A and B are shown apart, each in its own frame.
Chain A
């Protein structure tokens, strides 16, 4: 097998509290090949966003990297200097955030924010960079880009702002695009367009994607492989189609069963939705053993004491459950 583009190994992220340190992310490992789209799914607080931030080298206090390796194209980047990281960000790895209004600079026209990428990373002069910014806007299908480059973020709609974010992120043709809930703030029809656009541009440029979302359906549409996180750990990872056909971890099964599916009522009549009992545990009192155990329908004594090891599944998949299969 060739070297993966991104390899995250035993990542551990610490959250410093009042005199105590919690492990917000523990033992997270995954690989993303060149041009591959990889999805990281989980609920709020499960650690998926901070995993993305750690790849970008953007963890700030009270969060810090407590262990593990982040390897980009064969090189470890978890300890590189801030200056070196700045050179990587934007050029080799880029990020799209959930809320484009807060991620864009409100005081600068969007054309300038795109052009900045060419000036900073490719040494272009401003005139040339502005021309290229216009092209970049055209590529993300913003109508009349020649006028829009002078607009400020507040003059654009949510969908248009997210297109601008994509234009900025893809400006320098990065190898990896990290997309943290890129469409959560958008309407469904706009979401569909933005996802199509991202998928198309990344495929054309051979950009790999690390997609973070709470929406399993969305991730499965866009990504080839999916990992499910729960309370700071990856509990299951599989090929996207397989995760729906044969979900193995009780949490994944619960997530898939608990959501009403279109067409289901017409086929089978209205069934009571299968609930996952209980609530997501808070980081201060994660249960011992398997962290899903208080909510798990198949819980036994071993689940309460021993952390389950990863068991391999077909096609590079894995599951962490004592009772899988």
Chain B
């Protein structure tokens, strides 16, 4: 039995050595050695020569084996190698190795932790490991791809390759889209859900990394930000969260803001109304324009400024036109009343008074121009117009009688031709007058006074009966400072506009018929349509409300055409027009057709903005008046002029 030298891994194999000793069998492990049982060779060596079986080949008989066992000290470590037919004695090292493997132990010589040899060291070397320059191909488009593409292109052009048409979506092709015609609508959510709470992150951790913690400066900064960005009320709902670090979970204290935060969340969930704001789906902007007739179709209406009546020295507060349409009277803060011939702007007459003239109206029937100035009302016969009317008026005033005892609080006095050429009648009140208004028959004069703060508002309206020479307070109690009054053109109805509401009274029945609710905080003027069913109301908040008395007590329409306070609204007595003047220097003329059939609502179309007056001290146009018959409008302004706009 020859022993095999253990090949040392460190030294190189010596081929000649091994060849001499034992030739290596080349049959491989797949071939079972049983096949060579009957032969005398056991395999072939590298030179294809037969390896003969050793003499004591294979299985020795039992006696030999027993003898071996007794005599051979190394019997227990000899192994029969099938492949070479040799007995191999294992060395000590071999046995130790085998035992290690069997016990699953590592070699104590083996070093577990070998020193790591960095192939690519973290130390920065001078020279790079690889310094091959980048090839050009790495940063230009690939040449091979281009050539390949060219080939494909050529093939397609020649028709060898046909480009594949896009594949049909297999799902779609077999199905018919039932809803392809219908527009896709996303079902709207009926409510917008509350915003979700964020999940706790690194800041909320009980042991955040050091970078998440805030130092003092940052906490201070947060606190100042709270002060500056949010106001008192908002701050109540917000808290500053400062991340804290604890070494273990059991050291984390109770969170003091817990209940509060939950409460805030509950409030958010149920208190905040989250409604989807429905936006109008406007496909065509022109649809928004209301279907109203164009201004060109609604002529006649005043278009252009024609005449300016100059002469007053201060702002002109009131205008009135004679029923014939020939004369215009104006009252101004320079305490004069001027009468103008409309056609030529000639100032026919000037009447001087002591105090600024606040209101003016020509009696519809008699030739009496009624002037309200200070706390007096004066009736003047300017002797213009029909001679017959003038004479009749003179006669009428002459035979007028009044009884002082009948009139509470005011004094009447007549003056005849000898004392004063023009003034015929004076009524003196204890308190200043604000507005006068004749009833359509020319007999009743309503007078709005400005009561003192200690007096009740019921003393603010006084009605004078001209033919009887009597004056009386029609109201026992009245709430609200009265701004404007109007008589109904035909019925015995009296309309009072206080600062907040419009009240309609029946004079014969002596009761309140209606109360109109106006959104305006301060009503400036009202006017009633000549047919008597519609009321216009203008306020200092630049809104104009149109009330249809047959429709409702709320305004039929509200117009916000003006930029500043609306001072005066007026209807035209003959044509379907109304005008509103404002402090922004414009007078807006609108067309209003009121239909006699109760089903149709009035058609209101603004047709023209008339400019011309200057704005002085934030006031521009104070009063406006339509000509009784022509489509003309007079406006009086703070620039002491009256302007006539014609068509």
State yes or no: do A and B come from one complex.
no
